[in-house]
Amino acid sequence: MDYPKRSRSSDDDSHDFKRQRIADPGRPSKSFTLENGLKVFVFSGGEESSAAMTVRVGSFADPPKIPGLAHVIEHMLFRGSQKFRGENELQDYVAKYDGGTNARTEFDHTTFSFEVDPEHFHGALDRFAHLFINPLMEPKRLEHEIDTVDSEFLLIKYSDADRLDQILAHTSYEDHPFKCFSWGNRDTLTKVPLASLRESALDFFNTHYRASSMILVIVLGSGSGDLDKIQSSVTEFFRDIPKGISPYTPEISRPWDSGKTYFLQSVENNQRVMITWRIPRESHQQNKVAKYVMQLFSEEREGSLSFFLKEKGWIWSLEVYTGGNNGFSADDEDPSAYSSTSFGQLFMLVLELTNEGLEQEYVLINHVYEYLRFLSLNTPPPYLMKEQKDLQDMRFRFLYSDDRLIDSLHVFADRLSANMLWCDADHALSQCFSDPTCDHSEINGFIKEFFTPANMRMYCLVKTLPEKEVPQIEPWFGTSYIEKEIPESCIEDWVGSRFSFPPENLFMPSNENLHGKLGSDDENDEEHDSASEDRDNESVEMDDEEMHDSAGEDSEDGDSDVDNTIKISNTIYYLSGNSSISAAYFYLSMPADHTMNLILVELLKYSLCPLQFTESGFNIPFLTQGRMAYIDCRVSLLDGNKLLLQFDGLHEKFKDFISKIWDKIKSFKPIQQHFKVIKEKLLLELHPRDISEHAKQLFMESLVEEKCKPVALDGVTFSDIQEYAADFSSNLRVHCGVIFGSISEETAKDIANLLDQPSLLLDQPSLAINTNVMALRVERTEDIPRNAFDRNSLTMVVYEIPCIGLSSFFSSLMAYGFERQLKIVENLGYQVDCSPQTEGIRGICFSVISPQYKPHYLLDRIYSFIREFKIEENSFAKYKELAINSLAEGSSIWHVLLSNEYSALLDARGRLASLTIEEARRSYDRLFLSTSSRKRVEVCISSPTGDINY
C-alpha cells in the first residue's frame, strides 16, 4: 500500500502565500537523486551547516519478539563504522567544531541529524554518510547501548504523559502495529542471546536502510561551499548506500475501538482529561479546517470554551494539539507520539482539572460538544479568518530570523526531512504555515464528520482510582487503569449557546506593515544610524573587580568597542540591532517572602486574564491578542523575589501592547475566587514528583537562611494576600530592563517613560541568601517521593562563579566532555548535563539522573571529572569566542539584569577577549579545585527502591 499523500489543488496553492519552495528567493536551493535512489535536498541556511537523514522505517517494524529493536539500532549507528571506527566518531568530531548530533525513533520513521561549523561540514558529512553504509554493531557496544536504552526508558517510566501514551498502544487491536512497546528496555532486548540480537539488528538494518527509503536534507551555512560542490560531495559520500526500498508498508487502518473512557492512576499527582478524535492527514483542505478549529479551541477570551470552564473553576488550563511533531521548534510538539502517524492524526484537547472540575466528569464533555455545535452552526466573522491567515504569513516571513520557529538548524533539517515522507518537497516547509482560510460549509462538514462521540476517546488521569472497581495493569509501565463506555446521555443537543467568537484583535499590524518591511521601525531607520554615532558619548561606569578576582590580577583591559548599548533612563538600557523582532525584558522588585510572591505572581497572571495559569503567559486575553499579532509576553517569578516580564514581537503595536499590560499590572487587585483556585494548584505543586523539579526546589530552599524561610502555603489567607498585594502595588518599580532588536531608540525611550520612575526607585529587597553554605546533601525522604517504585536517583552540584564571562566560558568548555565521560563512557545514566546556573546563584550546574547508581557514587564521578579536566590549547580559543559572542547577544542579557550588573557584563566581554590560557587555568584551579573556593551546593535525591549499584 502506498503512503498517503497530501492532495494539492490549484485552489489550495493560490492561498499558499507563494510557499511552494523550500527556501525563500534569497536562499538558493537544489534537489537531486543519486543513482542508488537517495533523494537529496540542499538549500542555504544560516551561520551553521546541518544535515538530516530520515529513513522510512521505525518501531512499527520491530519484530514481535524484540520490542525496541529499531530504537537500539538508532543508537548503534553512532557507535562506529568500517571507515570511522571510533565509538563516538561523529559526535566527537562535530563537538570540536561547535556542533552537535541528534536522533529519534518514531513509529513510521527514524531521523538522524547533526549541526557543525561550516568550515568542517564536509568532514562531518563524510562521517555521517558512513552511519548508513557499514556500521560496526560490535557486540560490546551493543551491550552498552542496551543499558543506555534501558536508562532512557527508566527516566520516563514514571512520567504520566508517557504512561498515557502506552495506554493508547496497549488498548489497540491485537494485530495492529499500535499494539507495541516502542521504547524497548533491558527485558525486551535481552530475551535473545547477544549474538542473536546483533544478527537481528544487522538483518533489520540491511532490510530497511535502503537508499530509496531515505531522504537527505542539507542546510548550508556560509563557508560550506556552493551547491555544485555539495552535490559532488554528497554523491561521493552517499553513493554506497545499498539500492532498494524497505519492504515495510505503513498501517492506515483504524487502530482501536472509539467511544471509550480510560481512567489512569497518576504517578505525578495530576488531574487531567485528554479527549481525542481521529482525523485524516491526507487532505490539505481538511488540514486547513483542523487548524481553524484548533485556533478557536485555543482561544482564551470571553465567549470561548476555555473562558467558560475557567470561570466555573473547573480547569486550570486548556491546550489543543493536532498534526504531530512536524513544526520546527519545541512549541510545535504534541504531547503524544501517536498524534501523527501513517494511520492519521489525533486532534487532542487536554484539560488540567481542579478538584471541583474532576467531579464534573462527563459534564465537561457535554460543554465541549456544545462548543463544537456553536462552531458548526455559526459562520466565522471575516476578520477572524484574516487574522489567522496573517499570523501564518508573519510566521513564514520570520522563519529564519525568529528562534521560536527554528530552535536549531539540525532540528529544522530533521523536521523537514521527516515532513517529506508525507508530502512533496515543495510543501514540506509550507504545510506548517499554510493559509487556514476555509468557508462555513467546510467547517460544518468537517466537525459533523469527525468530531462525534463515536470517533472519540477520553483519557482521565486521576490521583486515585475508584476502590470498588478492579483495575487492569499495563505490563511495561505498570499503569493501573479502568476502561468504561462513554454514555450517550453525556451529549445533549444544545439549541442556544453561551459561546461567541472573539472580538477583532486590536494589536494586529496594519496591512502596510504586514506585507511591507516587517519587523523594522521604518520611519526611524535614520535614527538607528544616528544613534550609533552618539553612543561613544554615553558613559557607563565599569567595575572590573569581579574579573580580576576570577581571571587573575595581571589581566589587561579588553577592547570595549563591542558595546552598542546606551542607557535611556535611570534603570533601562537600549541595545540596537538588526533583528527582525523587537524585545524588552524588565524585572520588578518584590518583597522578600517567596511563598507570598509565588501566590502573588499567579494571581497577577489571573488578573491579566482570569483564565491564565501557564508559566509562559501566552494565552491571557491581551497576550492571546498579542500572540496572534506576533507579540509575546511571559510573566514569571525568579529567585523568589524578582518578577520578570519578557516581551518580543513586531514593532508596530509593541509599545501599545506593553502599555496595556503595564496598566493592568498597576491596577492589580486579587479576587477571592481566583485565590482559592490558585492556592489549590500551588498546594499540589508544593512537593513536585518530577525528580528534576524536586532537585531545583531543594536547591533554592538551601540558599535561604532559616530566619527568612517563607510562611507555610496552607496558612496563607485571602486577607494576607490582599495586604501583601497592596504593598506590592504601592511600591511597583522596574528595577532594571533592556529593550533591543528592531525597535527605534525613540520608541524605546517612550516605553521606558511608561515604566521607569527614577524618583521613586527602591533598592531590591534581599532573600537573605546563606553565604556560609558550602555543601548540602539532601536524601529523599518518605514524605516527598515522586513514586514509591521510582528507581532513579539524582545528584546535582552547583559551583558559584560570580564572574559573568567565566561562568559562560567554563560551562561551554566543559559541557560536551562531561556528557561524553559520564553518559557515554561510564554509562551512569541517560540524563547528564552541564549548564550555566542563573537562579539563586550564578555559576555552573552539573547533574546526573541514574537508575543504577546512588548519589554518593555519582558525586564521586562528578568530582573525578572536575579534578581530571584539562583546558587544552586546541579548544581554548574556540570556546572563548563562543562565550564572548553569547555575552554580546541581546537575548542573553536579561539574566545579568537580575543583579543590575550590566556594567559588569560590558567589562566581562572585554576582559574575556584578553583572557589567556594561563589565566583561564589559574581561574579553573581557584574556582573548582581550591579548598577555599566559592560556594558549592550539592543536592542528592536517593532512590528508595530498585537494584542500585555501589
Question: DSSP string spanning 772-787?
Answer: T---------TTS-S-
Instruction: Give the gyration radius of the chain's Cα atoms.
Output: 28
pLDDT at residue 261 in the model = 93
Alpha-carbon distance of 914 to 881, in angstroms, equals 11
pLDDT of residue 564: 55
Query: Helix (H, G, I), strand (E, B), or coil: what is residue 771?
Result: coil
The pLDDT value recorded for residue 508 is 78
264 Rama class: left (phi>0) / alpha (psi -120 to 50) / beta: beta
Helix ranges (H only) for 704-787 are: 718-730, 745-755
Question: How many beta carbons lie within 10 A of that of residue 454, not counting itself?
Answer: 9
Question: 245 and 212 in contact (C-beta within 8 Å)?
Answer: yes
Look up residue 234 and give its three cell numbers: 554528497
**What local confidence, expressed as pLDDT, does residue 10 receive?**
32
What one-character-per-residue DSSP string does 561-617 give? TT--EEE-SSSEEEEE---SSEEEEEEEE--S-HHHHHHHHHHHHHHH-TT--SSS-
> Which is it for the CA torsion 70, 73, 77, 79, positive or negative?
positive
Evaluate whether 689 touches 270 at the Cβ level (below 8 Å).
Answer: no
Helix (H) or strand (E) holding 275, with range, is: strand 272-279
**145 CB burial (10 A radius; 0-12, 13-18, 19+):** buried
Cα(430)–Cα(378) distance, integer angstroms: 29
Interatomic CA distance for residues 880 and 909, integer angstroms: 10
What 8-state DSSP symbol labels residue 660? H
Predicted confidence (pLDDT) per residue in 755-794, tens digit: 865 433 333 344 344 434 434 433 333 333 455 566 788 8
What is the greatest pairwise CA distance in the chain? 81
Categorise residue 640: left if φ over 0, alpha if ψ from -120 to 50, beta otherwise.
left
pTM for this one? 0.82
Encoded amino acid at 171, one letter: T
Q: State the pLDDT at residue 283.
A: 53
Domains delineated in the chain: 30-239 (3.30.830.10), 260-409+416-491 (3.30.830.10), 565-755 (3.30.830.10), 778-941 (3.30.830.10)
Instruction: Give the C-alpha separation, 311 to 786, whole Å.
Output: 31
Low-confidence ranges of the chain (pLDDT < 50): 1-25, 515-563, 610-623, 706-708, 758-785, 890-891, 898-899, 946-948
Please report, for residues 5, 102, 109, 280, 932, the alpha-carbon distance to residue 420 in angstroms, rounded to integers and kept in the order given. Answer: 10, 19, 11, 17, 57
Q: Give the C-alpha separation, 572 to 636, whole Å.
A: 19
The pLDDT value recorded for residue 228 is 83
pLDDT of amino acid 317: 86
Report the SS3 class of residue 704.
Answer: strand
pLDDT of residue 708: 44
Q: Using CB atoms within 10 Å of the CB of residue 123, give its burial: 0 to 12 exposed, 13 to 18 middle, 19+ buried.
A: middle
At which residue does the C-alpha cell 505525578 appear?
268
pLDDT score, position 714: 83
Distance, CA of 749 to CA of 497 (rounded, Å) = 47
Other beta carbons within 10 angstroms of residue 187's beta carbon come to 13
CA 47 remoteness from chain centre:
22
HSE of 162, CA atoms in CB hemisphere, 13 A: 14
List helix spans (H) across 223-336: 227-238, 284-298, 305-311
pLDDT value of residue 806 = 84
What's the confidence (pLDDT) of residue 660?
Answer: 86
For the chain, what percentages of helix, strand and coil (3-state, to nearest 5) are there? 40, 15, 40
